Amino acid sequence: MRGDDEVRKADDDRSKEDELSSKEEESSRALLFKRKQSTPCNFRFFEDTDIESPLVKIKVLPSTPSENGSSYNKSRGRGSTRRVRRRAVHKNGECNVTQVRISKRRRRYLQDIFTTLVDTKWRWTLLVFTLSFILSWLLFAVIWWAIASIHGDLDPLNREKEDFMPCVSSINNFASCFLFSIETQHTIGYGGRSTNEECPQAIFVMCLQSITGVFIQAFMTGIVFAKMARPKQRTQTLLFSRNAVVCMRDGVLSLMFRVGDMREKSHLISSSVRAQLVRPYVTKEGEVLSPFLYDLKVKADNYESDVFMIWPTTVVHEIDCDSPLYELSASDMINERFEIIVILEGTTESTGQTTQARTSYVASEILWGHRFQPLVSFNKNKGSYSVNFSLFHNTYQVDTPLCSAKELESFLEGTDINV
């Protein structure tokens, strides 16, 4: 009997604890609901309170530190596969587009051989550079050897005759013809071998090889110079922020990213920034156009055309009624598949060449409710502005509506609430 009483008492205590916990949960839900109702369009707060937003649900996987200090997810095993991000432009600016099934592709590339050699890798350019000279030397060496053979210059009996005059003096075999070919093409002129008026064909070949050598040298030098001085190398000192952010600016929900130039002397002049959204589009007839490019209106500071990049600049796209992102909320950005391509163009001040740098942001690289950390300050000791590029990619969290710009605009319509 005593044991039954203890069991009943334990059950009663357990039921009381369940009732108390349920009441506390209901009170906390009521407080949370009241808090959300008083906040316009479900602002996101970053206190220590555990709040689960109805629009965004983020599942955090447990991570374990590895031996080198980095962390990795336990759920990802050896056989797991990483989800491939679909993007048209890589982070380094290279286009992720492969051209296939092009008729007469090699012939078309050879017709534009100069651009092909400039765009190809250095090892292929240097290989063509070397082979062009070696093959030309060998070709004209064969021609000189043929002229000498036909005229009888290689015959030992003729060389012993005192009245015999060869087409090219001191030509004994193919090796001497090859050396004479190099001397003629590059006007070295050691003085041991030379042509004379005995063979008109030798004079003609000498002139032809001289012209051919100048042409090959000018062509290959131009390719190497164009490859080294092309504006593509200038983009190595142009920076884009690793992530784009979405937050409020001047009462408008805005998408922002940061651009910068590492050089202190040679700045970009007449520089401009363009942004395009890659997203499927459905016409009124039901036709799906994919991929489809939308133009995003961007501005930097208070000017919309040229950007004076003496320090890193934050480029802003206001998500208004004309923006293709107007109806996207925070949860929509997580679920949507789109890409924002950013193009920075400008003229290099030192060379006058136009350069273009590119990057892109997919949905997973856009931080909702973040703002870029300031990195420009004035150094009183040096009397100049200082840019801390270690903070270039840094962001911090701010309160931001989780709804779309359209929902926010309709919510604030007719109210005096300042966001």
Do residue 210 and residue 302 come from a single domain? no
CATH of the domain at 176: 1.10.287.70
The verdict on 288 and 193 lying in the same domain is: no
Alpha-carbon dihedral 68, 69, 75, 79, rounded to 10 degrees: -20
pLDDT value at position 10?
A: 55
Residue 15, in any domain of the structure: no
In a domain, 329, yes or no: yes
Q: Sorting pLDDT into bands at 50, 70 and 90, what band is 419?
A: low
Question: Has residue 215 got a pLDDT over 50?
Answer: yes
216 — pLDDT class (breaks 50, 70, 90): very high
- 256 and 319 together in one domain: yes
Residue 112 lies in a domain: no
The residue among 229, 263, 281 that closes a domain is 229
For residue 169, being part of any structural domain is answered with yes
**Domain edge (last residue) among 184, 200, 229:** 229
Q: How confident is the model at residue 297 (pLDDT cuts 50, 70, 90)?
A: very high
For 223-272, the pLDDT digits (tens) are: 998 888 877 778 888 999 999 999 999 989 999 999 999 988 888 888 89
Question: Is 90 exceeded by the pLDDT of residue 22?
Answer: no
The b-or-e profile of 153-190 (16+ CB within 10 A means b, else e) is: bbeeeeeeeeeeebbbeebeebebbbbbbbbbbeeeee
* Residue 240 shares a structural domain with residue 189: no
Domain that holds residue 187: 117-229
Residue 77, pLDDT > 60, answer no
What pLDDT digit, counting tens, does each position of 85-105 carry? 688 999 999 999 988 888 888
As a whole number, mean pLDDT of residues 150-167 equals 83
CA dihedral 107, 132, 219, 201 (to 10 degrees): -110
Same domain? 379 vs 335: yes
Determine, yes or no, domain membership for 7: no
Residue 31 pLDDT class (50, 70, 90 cuts): very low
Are residues 252 and 190 part of one domain? no
Examine the pLDDT at 333 and tell me if it is beyond 70.
Answer: yes
Strand order in the sheet with 339-348: 293-296, 268-278, 339-348, 354-362
Q: Both ends of the chain: CA-CA distance in Å?
A: 67
On whether both 371 and 386 belong to a single domain, the answer is yes
Residue 193 has pLDDT above 70, yes or no: yes
pLDDT band for position 302 (50/70/90)?
A: confident
Does position 168 have pLDDT exceeding 60, yes or no? yes
Q: With 60 as the cut, is the pLDDT of residue 3 above it?
A: no
Confidence of residue 315 (pLDDT cuts 50, 70, 90): very high
Q: CA–CA separation, 300 vs 259, rounded Å?
A: 10
> What is the residue-averaged pLDDT of the chain?
80
Residue where a domain terminates, one of 192, 214, 229: 229
Same domain, 222 and 310: no
- What is the domain-level CATH number for residue 382? 2.60.40.1400
Surface-to-core class of residue 74, CB atoms within 10 Å of its CB (0-12 exposed, 13-18 middle, 19+ buried): exposed
Chain centre distance of CA 382: 35
Q: Is residue 13 a part of any domain in this protein?
A: no
Number of H helices, E strands in the chain: 9, 18
Is pLDDT at 70 greater than 90 in this prediction? no
Instruction: Tell me if 191 is assigned to some domain.
Output: yes
- Same domain? For 300 and 386 the reply is yes
Q: Is residue 14 part of a domain?
A: no
Residue 13 — very low, low, confident or very high, per pLDDT cuts 50/70/90? low
Percent of the chain with pLDDT over 90: 46
Q: Which tops the pLDDT comparison, 45 or 337?
A: 337
Residues 258 and 220 in one domain: no
pLDDT at residue 144 in the model: 94
8 Å CB contact between 247 and 256: yes
User: What pLDDT is stored for residue 185 in this prediction?
Assistant: 92
Domain total in the chain? 2
Predicted local confidence at residue 9, as pLDDT: 58
Q: Are residues 149 and 136 in the same domain?
A: yes
Are both 281 and 165 inside the same structural domain? no
Lowest mean pLDDT across 190-199, 258-267, 273-282 = 190-199
Confidence of residue 125 (pLDDT cuts 50, 70, 90): very high
In degrees, rounded to 5, the angle at the alpha carbon of residue 178 between the alpha carbons of residues 172 and 181 is 110
